[in-house]
């Protein structure tokens, strides 16, 4: 392949539109919000850059630390449930007959074709007191149960929304897995569990780590699902940030909270790169 330095005209022709888009709609707005995070609110509509760290210091108040901690463990639980459910799903798709794989993958990504707001309203119809799930439980003499406006409903909603982000990287890793390693382990006397634990799991670890990052980070910053399924009883840090930009109109503090989440994202990506460098498995 020719070096880009030998084809500068082609390089800039192809690269300029994407670079312009990222600059105008990502880097410049991001830099603007970064500056606002060091500003002070002087009126309802005006902020003044002072270089202050007060917004970041305020983020470590006890009330916000409690919300951040709650957001982290809800995101961890949702990610763990996604992993436990997605791993066998990805395995099933990989070992399914070739003619069924496209259809199974289509079923995984099919929810993306429907607006998130509509899917969340559908979950409300399923989990509410007179919803479909309680109706089915009533047929066997159970319920009705209060399934909405608590942490459990938020976790179930996050799992439903972000499950495909766990299935797809796992599928990509398992699909490229050399199955001769599994056959060799079984031929040498290893049990199914030993083969999975000592061979399959380490070889698919890059896909697991990628899936965890792709699910955990959006879960941590989610605000629509907790707002609609959790209400006032399950506020996450994403809800706090959303209210700072809207009802509270405190952009400096909202920006500081947003960048704290971004720093967590950078840390997760750095961890993923570190684990990928050490892993002997199939990277994705």
Residue percentage of the chain with pLDDT more than 70: 95
Among 62-71, 178-187, 219-228, the least confident range: 178-187
Please give the backbone phi and psi of residue 40, each rounded to the nearest 5 degrees, phi first. Answer: -120, 145
pLDDT band at 180, cuts 50/70/90? confident
- The two tokens of residue 70 are 């709650």
Tell me whether residue 62 is in a domain: yes
* Whether residue 1 has pLDDT greater than 70: no
**pLDDT tens, residue by residue, 218-268:** 998 898 999 999 887 788 999 999 999 888 889 999 999 999 888 877 887
Question: Is 97 strand, coil or helix?
Answer: coil
Range of the domain at 131: 58-278
170 occurs within a structural domain: yes
User: What count of other Cβ atoms lies within 10 Å of the Cβ of residue 17?
Assistant: 9
Please report the pLDDT score of residue 2 as a whole number: 61
Q: How many CB atoms lie within 10 A of CB 47?
A: 17
pLDDT band at 284 (very low <50, low <70, confident <90, very high): very low
Q: How far apart are the first and last CA of the chain?
A: 23
Confirm whether 242 is domain-assigned. yes
Mean per-residue pLDDT, 73-82: 94
How large a percentage of the chain has pLDDT more than 90?
Answer: 37
pTM: 0.85
Residue 34 placed within a domain: no
Instruction: Average the pLDDT over 110-134 and give the result.
Output: 87
3-state secondary structure of 28: helix
**For position 276, what pLDDT does the model report?**
67
What is the Cα–Cα distance from 167 to 89, expressed in whole angstroms? 7
Predicted pLDDT at 87: 94
User: Quick one: pLDDT at residue 104?
Assistant: 92
**Does residue 6 belong to any structural domain of this protein?**
no
Contact indicator for 154, 236 with CB cutoff of 8 Å:
yes
For the ranges 31-35, 40-44, 276-280, the maximum mean pLDDT occurs at 31-35
How many Å apart are CA 249 and CA 234, to the nearest integer?
A: 22
Number of domains in the chain: 1
Q: Which two tokens stand for residue 166?
A: 């766990």
| pLDDT at 12 > cutoff 50 | yes
Q: Provide the pLDDT for residue 186.
A: 83
User: What pLDDT, on a 0 to 100 scale, did the predictor assign at position 282?
Assistant: 44
At residue 283, the pLDDT reads 47
Q: What is the pLDDT of residue 279?
A: 59
3-state secondary structure of 49: strand
What's the rounded Cα separation, in Å, for the pair 108 and 101? 11
Identify whether 2 is part of a domain: no
Among positive and negative, which fits the CA dihedral 147, 152, 158, 164? negative
CA distances from 97 to 88, 100, 164, 168, 209 (A): 16, 6, 21, 18, 27
Return the biggest CA–CA distance within the chain: 75
Report which listed range, 79-83, 123-127, 172-176, 260-264, is most confident.
79-83
Average pLDDT estimate for 172-179 = 88
Cα distance between residue 62 and residue 55, in whole Å? 14
CATH classification at residue 117 = 1.10.3720.10
Q: Is residue 219 part of a domain?
A: yes
Residue 222 CA from chain centroid, whole number: 8
- Asked if residue 284 belongs to a domain, the reply is no
* φ and ψ of 189, to 5 deg: 100, 5
Distance separating alpha carbons of residues 191 and 41, to the nearest angstrom: 64
Q: What is the mean pLDDT of residues 107-123?
A: 89
Question: What is residue 86's predicted lDDT score, i.e. its pLDDT?
Answer: 95
Taken in order 197, 81, 209, 268, the sign of the CA dihedral is: negative
Q: How many Å apart are CA 155 and CA 220, to the nearest integer? A: 11
Mean of the per-residue pLDDT values for the chain? 86
């Amino acid at each position: 392949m020719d070096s880009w330095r030998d084809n500068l005209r082609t390089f800039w022709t192809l690269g300029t539109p994407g670079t312009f888009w990222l600059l105008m709609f990502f880097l410049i707005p991001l830099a603007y919000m970064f500056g606002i995070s060091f500003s002070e609110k002087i009126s309802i509509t005006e902020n003044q850059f002072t270089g202050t760290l007060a917004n970041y210091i305020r983020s470590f108040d006890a009330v916000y630390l409690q919300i951040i901690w709650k957001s982290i463990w809800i995101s961890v639980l949702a990610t763990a449930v996604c992993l436990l459910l997605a791993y066998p799903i990805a395995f099933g798709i990989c070992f399914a007959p070739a003619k069924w794989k496209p259809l199974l993958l289509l079923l995984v990504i099919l929810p993306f074709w429907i607006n998130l707001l509509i899917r969340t309203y559908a979950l409300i119809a399923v989990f509410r007191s007179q919803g479909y799930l309680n109706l089915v439980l009533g047929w066997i003499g159970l319920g009705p149960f209060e399934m909405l406006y608590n942490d459990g409903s938020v976790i179930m909603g996050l799992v439903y929304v972000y499950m495909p982000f766990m299935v797809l990287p796992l599928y990509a890793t398992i699909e490229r897995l050399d199955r001769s390693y599994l056959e060799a382990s079984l031929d040498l006397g290893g049990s199914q569990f030993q083969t999975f634990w000592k061979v399959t799991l380490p070889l698919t670890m890059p896909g697991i780590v990628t899936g965890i990052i792709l699910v955990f980070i959006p879960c941590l910053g989610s605000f629509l699902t907790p707002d609609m399924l959790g209400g006032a009883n399950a506020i996450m840090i994403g809800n706090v940030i959303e209210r700072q930009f809207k009802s509270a109109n405190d952009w400096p503090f909202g920006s500081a909270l947003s960048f704290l989440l971004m720093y967590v994202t950078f840390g997760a990506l750095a961890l993923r790169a570190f684990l990928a460098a050490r892993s002997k498995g199939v990277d994705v």
